[in-house]
Structure 1
Amino acid sequence: MNHTAPREESVSPKITATARAERASKIYRSGEAAVKALDDVTIDIPAGRLTAIMGPSGAGKSTLMHCLAGLDTLTSGKVFIGDVELGSLSDSQLTLLRRERIGFIFQAFNLLPTLSALENIVLPAALSGRKPDQGWLDTVVETVRLGDRLSHRPSELSGGQQQRVAVARALASKPQIIFADEPTGNLDSRSSGEVLGFLRRAVTELEQTIVMVTHDPVAAGHADTIVFLADGRIVDTMDDPTAQKVLDRLKAFGE
């Protein structure tokens, strides 16, 4: 008993924030001009929650997500996934971390058209030479309700079903964190609602951590917390949002 208690105490603080940025700044230069996409942003992404990032066009939403996910580098500051500082990694180490610890969901689905739904879902594991955990895979397929569509190719699926395949693919490798970039941007309202419901279930039932960039107040209303950006800075946060509360807040920002 004396050996286990200290170990639990030492591990738990590291997993409180699944990802975090410390004084993150990103400057894009074009000739003489410089655009500060992120301006001294510090943020913690809590484990087991759905965090939405909102703000007007050009606010820095996608830049923040890309830097948190290791898809882009900071001009200054630090980004961590768990206790790993991404700036300390080589390109090959960063690629490995993204493959093993991060899931991605994109607006354009990014499914391979020649593969079945199931083959698309297990593709990341196949590329890394690992067999998926069958029990977990079954749970994921049940969560996104794709059991009767696994043999279908993307062209045989609706947009909403294709995005559900993309959600399952992101979940299948048990990532520490999933980044979703406008995941409902190409969907009608019904399909959008279904996908958002599955993301919500992934957080509530599978204890997944999800960061979602969205401009849609309805989508943001499914989050636990919303972080509002403007001009590369965090200007507000909202816990337990609803679509109406988000709309009211955006109007106050002049969105």
Structure 2
Amino acid sequence: MPASSPAPPHADGPAPLPAGAAVARAVGATKVYGAGDTAVRALDDVTVAFPTSRFTAIMGPSGSGKSTLMHCVAGLDTLTAGEAYVGDVALGTLSDRQLTLLRRTQIGFVFQAFNLVPTLTVRENITLALDLAGREPDRDWLDALIATVGLGDRLHHRPAELSGGQQQRVAVARALASRPRIVFADEPTGNLDSHAGGEILGFMRRAVDELGQTVVMVTHDPLATGWTDSAIFLADGRVVDELDAPTPDTVLDRIKQLGEG
């Protein structure tokens, strides 16, 4: 990172992890919904790791367990068996209060719906989580985010005055504003056209490359996966393949092979 770049994520929180270390991981992750004849095994003994300063895609057909995996590693849902970690912290050992604090300080979230507050300005939406926590934003980090998101001239606008792509860029900036260890994005381009979706993917790519962020994205779109460093493929609750430096063509080929398998 250039000397003029802002400090890396979470500099005012837990100590930064070594390059290549797992920011978050799952070990033997199993998630079962229901019981008896109606039980559904959404995750089946999944072990994965998400390295620092990398952009990782989780892919798979509907019902493959990709969103369940993200929710469990992000502390939004609990595992039936196995363990999820953020840094060296085992999420299953935390109380509800501790888990809420960890999500607030170490994890950012971006969802398909933008979830912006319509009465707040762009700047107020970006700093919302920090404001609610009573924390002052790091000015250098915030300035770097605003520059990266490319909406410096829209900070006093409200969401209704923005395009869908601009609204989602604000949502991504909000996820990054607290300098989390990791950002989880669930189908972040699902409500956008291809041009706006490309803007969001480019923004997340720059956040990894220029700001040292770690991003994990659930997607079904091979074009979106082409922006990432690696892809994990799930089917029937299991990891069935992994691909480094994916391109849309290699992802489509891999999906075709899995379908024939």
Task: Please name the residue that 2:9 is paired with.
Answer: none
Shift in Å, 1:32: 3.5
How far 1:253 moved relative to its partner? 1.8
Describe how 1:30-45 pairs up with structure 2 within 5 A: 32-45=37-50
Partner of residue 126, structure 2 = 121
Separation in structure 2 between the aligned mates of residue 13 and residue 147 of structure 1, nearest angstrom: 33
The equivalent residue for 1:189 is: 194
- Tell me the equivalent position of 1:65: 70
Distance 2:20 2:209 in 1: 17
Q: Distance in 2 between matches of 1:11 and 1:208?
A: 11
Gaps in structure 2 of 5+ consecutive residues: 1-14
Give the partner amino acid of 1:79: A
The whole-number CA distance in structure 1 between the counterparts of 2:16 and 2:224 is 33
1-structure distance, mates of 2:35, 2:162: 42
Contact 1:70 1:86 (C-alpha < 8 Å) held by counterparts: yes
1:146 and 2:151 aligned: yes
Which amino acid in 1 is paired with 2:33? Y
- Asked if residue 109 in structure 1 is aligned to residue 114 in structure 2, the reply is yes
- The CA distance in 2 between the partners of 1:184 and 1:14, in whole Å, is 28
Secondary structure at the residue paired with 2:129?
A: helix
- Contact 1:14 1:83 (8 Å CA) reproduced: no
Could you say what the CA RMSD is over the residues aligned between the two structures, in angstroms?
1.6
1:211 aligns with 2:216: yes
> What residue identity is the alignment partner of 2:49?
D
The alpha-carbon distance between structure 1 residues 182 and 246, as it changes in their structure 2 partners (threshold 3 A), is: same
Q: TM-score, normalised by structure 1?
A: 0.94
Shift of 1:31: 6.4
1:208-244 residue CA offsets vs partner (Å, 9 max, x unmatched): 0000000000001101000000000000000001111
Answer yes or no: is the 8 Å Cα contact 1:113–1:154 preserved in 2.
Answer: yes
* Letter matched to residue 113 of structure 1: P
CA contact (8 A) 1:15 1:82 kept: no
Retained in 2: the 8 A contact 1:14–1:82?
no
- The aligned runs of 1:75-114 (5 Å cut-off) are 75-114=80-119
* Counterpart Cα distance in 2 of 1:70 and 1:245: 31
**Aligned partner of 1:159 among 164, 170, 183:** 164
1:47 aligns with 2:78: no
Provide the C-alpha distance between the structure 1 equivalents of 2:16 and 2:110, rounded to a whole number of angstroms. Answer: 28
**How far 1:30 sits from its partner (Å)?**
5.6
Look up the equivalent residue of 1:125 and give its one-letter code.
Answer: L
Q: Does structure 1 residue 198 correspond to structure 2 residue 203?
A: yes
Identity rate of aligned residues, in percent?
67
- Aligned pair count? 246
- SS of the aligned residue for 1:32 comes to helix
Distance 1:12 1:188, change over 3 A: closer
Which of 47, 72, 79 is the equivalent residue of 1:74?
79
